[in-house]
Copies of this chain bind each other. A is one copy, B any other.
Amino acid sequence: MLEHWNDGPTKAAIVDFVDQTVAEVEPEARIAVFDNDGTLWCEKPMYIQLDFLVRRFAEQVAADPSLRERQPYKAVYEDDLRWIGDAVTKHYEGDDTDLKPLVGAILSAHEAITVEEHASRVRAFFAEATHPTLGRPYRECGYLPMVELLQYLAGNGFTNYIVSGGGRDFMRPITGALYDIPPERVVGSSVGLIYRDGSLFTTAQPEFLDDRPMKPVRLWSRIGRRPIFAAGNSNGDIEMLEFADTPGGSALRLLVRHDEAEREFDYTAGAERALDQAAASGWVVSRIKNDWATVFGD
């Protein structure tokens, strides 16, 4: 039971919460929601989905060399991935100059294909793509203690959902194998779909960015209940953690803190406000360095 968690206050808080829930909360109401990037799997040095998209951009440049002159394809062609990281960093600093063409390219990367074809592109990616620095396949970049936590909750009658800023249809083909979470329990960002002749086709129109206050909105749309357990790792998860509640007010809100340079990554960028609120509101903070005996599985 949670054997890859070190003994200490974090593990104890989780176990106490689950024991209390099993005693007091009916199974239908045992809803747990998890952010994905940085909470269930590694998000550094870049989002796994961004690598999926970068590889697609490279295919698009190969098919249409005129794209070499346009960002973000230029950066990909010149192997200058720093440009992408900088575009995202600048966005968080309030400057969207580079983010706009990046988002346009992201939205159109897999345009006008069926949802089934999209899923098969995702499966092909996870079948072979490897993490650039950890030396392991992306499909093995889930955090072992968090996977164990999912299993522990499921074993105690919880229903686990992913509620992520990542792409809904990017995560779905892989979450069953990684987390035992089926597609109907994956909530994420999406492009609009259109129906034609018996099939659904992707568009390049944004539908939802499932982040910040949209997280409680989208999880309500999907689940129709408040979660009693919510886990995240960044500022984008604050509202979802706030929304978690129980009639008795004893929801567990868990924030993963990345402070482990050796086994994973050490960063607080993008999590500053969440960490402040965790301290102010008594949320449980899981420090990877202290709390996780192992970070990744074999």
Contacts and interface: CB of A to CB of B under 8 A. Distances in A.
Nearest to A171: B224
A194 interface: yes
Interface string A169-203: 10010000000001110100010111100111000
Interface in A206-253: 213-214, 216-217, 220-225, 239, 242-243, 245
A74 interface: no
Contact of A220 (B115, B216, B220, B239): B115
Interface string A15-38: 000000000000010000000000
B213 A195 contact: yes
State the copy count for this chain: 2
Given A194-B213, A217-B194, A224 B172 contact: yes
Given A200-B216, A243-B195, A190 B223 contact: no
Nearest to A175: B224
Nearest to A245: B198
Nearest to A182: B28
Nearest to A169: B224
Interface residues of A, number: 31
A213 B200 CA distance: 10
B243 A220 contact: no
A110 interface: no
A193 B220 contact: yes
Q: Is the interface of A mostly helix, strand, loop or mixed?
A: helix
B190 A239 contact: no
A168 interface: yes
A31 to B, nearest CB: 8
Nearest to A240: B195
A217 B243 contact: no
Contacts of A184: 222-225
Nearest to A220: B200
Contacts of A115: 220
A269 to B, nearest CB: 24
Nearest to A192: B217
B245 A217 contact: no
Contact of A183 (B186, B217, B225, B243): B225
Interface in A255-298: none
A183 B224 contact: yes
A100 B194 CA distance: 25
A243 B186 contact: no
Contacts of A182: 28, 224
Given A183-B225, A186-B224, A200-B243, 4 more contacts: A182-B224, A183-B224, A184-B225, A198-B242
Leading 10 A-B pairs by shortest Cβ distance: A183-B224, A195-B213, A184-B223, A193-B217, A198-B242, A172-B224, A195-B216, A195-B239, A200-B220, A184-B224
